Amino acid sequence: MNLPHSVRLVEVGPRDGLQNEKQPISVADKVRLVDDLSAAGLRYIEVGSFVSPKWVPQMAGSAEVFSGIQRRPGITYAALTPNLKGFEAALEAKVGEVAVFAAASEAFSQKNINCSIADSLQRFVPLLEAAKAAKVRVRGYVSCVLGCPYDGDVAPQQVAAVARELHAMGCYEVSLGDTIGTGTAGKTRALLDVVSRDVPRERLAGHFHDTYGQALANIYASLLEGISVFDSSVAGLGGCPYAKGATGNVASEDVLYLLQGLGIDTGVDMDRLIAAGQRICQVLGKANGSRVARARLSH
């Protein structure tokens, strides 16, 4: 069994985790969350998103959050940027890295960003050129890789085509997202087998939602396929505003527990991670979505 010796966790809680919350969350609480996650040892934190407040109101204060956090050396503080305007705002906020997103499903692309997959990719060309000139690295997301709420099954070849385009355009890493959480371990391995023919495995990451309770199984399957980067969200926060029925991302605490059990190093402190998740859940007035956190806190 050839498992990676170390894994990089991409913490998406402050962005993907909070973007779908209905209640207002103060800049101070967002700053505290990022600082708590930094203190827990996470080396990559997606802090916010530079999108129109009209579409994602919860991300309106991202620039203020970036100016308020305590930046620690060795940690990447990233943001999602849908277009050149968003990238320019991110640059002004001194963002360490940016991410762009495309869908593997035509219907989801239309519902999410009101354009075709091809058009969405074309929009990224000036952004990637500007990022290259500014020496800012760009990460790519592909959503609906294991199923779409509108199109149903998505062919692995379609996912590979989108991932290949993002990689060719300059994305140093492409994160494959099971947006509605319907993927299984077998389908995950089959998908990675196809996509890795176009994009090297060391350039791929996994982003699994836990709607059907399969996220950890899919992460383990991905580990067996040589994937060593995974997106996760503290306390299992998040969902997708454009994917009906999509529950939260897999909880960072639960992924960490799995990796620790396999003897895989992440550099993350479990106790501090649980404390960070519990605090933001208290702010939001909601139950902690991490099974590991709930088990530890009940003792």
Give the catalytic positions in this structure: 240
In 28-172, the DSSP E strands lie at 44-49, 76-80, 97-103, 137-143
- Which residue, 103, 166, 171, is CA-closest to 139? 171
Task: State the Cα torsion 18-101-174-86 to the nearest 10°.
Answer: -80
Amino acid at 259: L
Both tokens assigned to 67: 């100016």
Show Cβ contacts of residue 124 under 8 Å, excluding neighbours closer than 6 positions. 100, 102, 166, 169
What backbone phi and psi angles, to 5 degrees, belong to 11?
Answer: -85, 115
Evaluate whether 274 touches 290 at the Cβ level (below 8 Å): yes
- DSSP 8-class letter at 251: B
Evaluate whether 247 touches 286 at the Cβ level (below 8 Å): no
